[in-house]
Amino acid sequence: MSADNGKTVKSEESTFLDVRDLTVQYTSMGSVIHAVNGITFQLKKGETLALVGETGAGKTSIAKAILRILPDVSAKSKGTVIFNNTDLMQMKEKEMQKIRGHKISMIFQDPMTALNPTMRVGKQISEVISAHRSISTEEAVAEGKKMLEMVGIPAERYYEFPHQFSGGMKQRVVIAIALACNPELLLADEPTTALDVTIQAQVLELINDLKERLNTSMILITHDLGVVNETCDNVAVIYAGRIIESGSKYDVFKHPGHPYTNGLFGALPNMNLDSDRLSPIAGLLPDPTNLPDGCAFAPRCPYVTDKCRQGTIPAVEVEPGHFCECIRMDEIRKER
């Protein structure tokens, strides 16, 4: 995993996803929402990358942009997404359909709404299979049943409808759909946020398990640092549509460089420390229709200087593979 600031870096052998300068903009009621603003990252085979950030930071938009399933009326995306040496952004729609669900698949944020309420659960799984493999209907059904069992749901529930399933089971169905064709890349968008802790544990376990068995790479989107810790290798912290810090989980968690990352840890009630007061980050995400110049975090940053408000802040490699977009990072790291 590595990140750079616009300079082209030849993708390494094992890098099979290379996202460069990805931007996503929405138009809504006449104003332009800058949801994703030039994101660059790479992902190696078998690795798991976590995208962490607050609500509205642009995490889901990134995943949807990669899969090119943004609403085509209101959203525009730019940049390159090199997947297995082809640029997905330039691909024909027909070609792209062959990638979706087959090579890259996605688990959606809300299991309650991600399933079609009028289609049998099993059909929703087997249709991915038949879409990408030329097999008979019976075989597809059999495959679908197998997938159901793999995620821990008895095969006889194949013919039921989503409303007959609990939230946890629905999320498992969504996972089964995503994994049905053994994708090379899994985009998991907050797969457990809507679930209870015990169920969340089950689901995370399941994903981890399957990922290992199938050697799938994964981008896990979440705002829960605990989940990141338990499932990921690398972390990218998203703030206002930019990766402000990225690196291995260990580096980022142990030695966060960016004041925002720092703040996130401070705001978290810690299970292990008995601090009386939390140290929240003041303020709110900036208005995505009207991002400030310079560092987007500047208005909330306790370390802000005038320089922070000018130009683009370059990413600095603090440690090997640990990048951070902050001009005062060195001072801050020393201070800690």
Partner 1 sequence: MGKYIVKRLLMMIPVILAVAILIFTIMTFVPGNPASLILGADATEEQIRIKEHELGLDQPYLVRLGSFLKQTFVELDFGRSYWTNTSVTEEMMERFPRTLAIAGFAMVFTTIIGIPLGIFTAVHEGTFADRIGVLLCVVGVSMPTFWLAMLFVLLLSLKLKLLPAQGMGGVQYYVMPVIAQSLGGISGMVRTARASMLEVVRADYVTTARSKGLSERKVIYEHALPNAMLPIISVLGGQLANQLGGALVIEQVFSIPGIGLYLINAVNTRDYPVAQSSVVFLSILFSLIVLATDLCYAAVDPMIRAQFTQGGKKKKKGKEENA
Partner 2 sequence: MALIEVQHLKKYFDVPNGTLHAVDDVSFVIEKGTTMGVVGESGCGKSTLGTTLIHLQESTGGKILFEGKDVTHLDKKQLHDYREDVQIIFQDPYSSLNPRYNIARTIMEPLEISGRFRSKADVRAEAERIMDLVGIEERLRGSYPHELDGGRRQRVGIGRALALNPKFIVCDEPVSALDVSIQAQVLNLLMDLQDQQQLTYLFVTHDLSVVRHISDNICVMYLGQLVETCSSKELFAKPLHPYTKALLSAIPSTDVDRKMQRVQLKGEITSPINPKPGCRFAARCPYATDACREPQQLREIEPKHFVQCCRIEELG
Partner 3 sequence: MSAKTKKEKKTGVNQWQEVFNILIHNPNAIIGFVIVAVLIILAIIAPWISPYDYLEMDLMAAKQGPSAAHLFGTDDLGRDILSRILYGGRYSMSLGFLSVGCGALIALVIGAVAGYFGGWVDNLLMRMMDVLSAIPGMLLSIIVAAALGTAYHDTVIAMAIGNVAALSRILRAQILSIREKEYVQAAKASNCSSFRIIFSHIIPNSVMPMIINCTSRLAAALLFCASLSFIGLGVQPPEPEWGAMLASARGYIRTYPYMLISPGLFIAVSVVGFTLLGDSLRDAMDPKLRK
- Residues at the interface with partner 1 (CB under 8 A): 64, 67, 69, 71, 73, 93, 96-102, 105-106, 108-110, 113-119, 127-128, 131-132, 161, 163-164, 174, 177
Cα–Cα distance between 165 and 179 in angstroms, integer? 19
- DSSP-derived letter for residue 305 is -
87 interacts with partner 2 by CB under 8 A: no
60 interacts with Mg ion by CB under 5 A: yes
Q: Which is nearer to partner 2, 159 or 265 (CB)?
A: 265
Cα–Cα distance between 104 and 217 in angstroms, integer? 9
- Phi/psi for 311 (5° steps) reads 65, 180
Question: How many of the chain's residues bind Mg ion (CB under 5 A)?
Answer: 1
Residue 321 CB: number of other CB atoms within 10 A?
14
Residue 9 Cα distances to 41, 82, 85, 277, angstroms: 11, 12, 14, 44
Cα–Cα distance between 312 and 326 in angstroms, integer? 10
Q: Which two tokens stand for residue 110?
A: 């809300």
Of the candidates 284, 240, 248, 40, the residue with the CA atom closest to the CA atom of residue 257? 248
Residue 117 CB: number of other CB atoms within 10 A?
9
- Phi/psi for 285 (5° steps) reads -55, 145
Q: Which is nearer to ligand ATP, 263 or 288 (CB)?
A: 288
Q: Segment 147-176, which members bind partner 2 (CB under 8 A)?
A: 166, 168-169
Distance, C-alpha 247 to centroid of its chain: 15
Question: Angle formed by the axes of helices 197-214 and 167-179, to 10°?
Answer: 10
Partner in contact with 58, chosen from partner 2, partner 1, ligand ATP, none, beta carbon below 5 to 8 Å by kind:
ligand ATP
Q: Which of 123, 223, 309, 333 touches partner 2 by CB under 8 A?
A: 223
| Minimum CB distance to partner 2, residue 270 (Å) | 7
28 interacts with ligand ATP by CB under 6 A: yes
| Minimum CB distance to Mg ion, residue 190 (Å) | 6
Q: Which is nearer to partner 2, 9 or 284 (CB)?
A: 284
264 interacts with partner 2 by CB under 8 A: yes
Residue recorded with tokens 């730019």: 78
| Minimum CB distance to partner 2, residue 165 (Å) | 10
| Element containing residue 27 per DSSP (H, E) | strand 15-28
Q: Which is nearer to ligand ATP, 181 or 296 (CB)?
A: 296
28 interacts with partner 2 by CB under 8 A: no
148 interacts with ligand ATP by CB under 6 A: no
Q: Which is nearer to partner 3, 30 or 154 (CB)?
A: 30
111 interacts with ligand ATP by CB under 6 A: no
Q: Which residues bind ligand ATP (CB under 6 A)?
A: 26, 28, 33, 35, 53, 55-61, 71, 74, 109, 223, 288
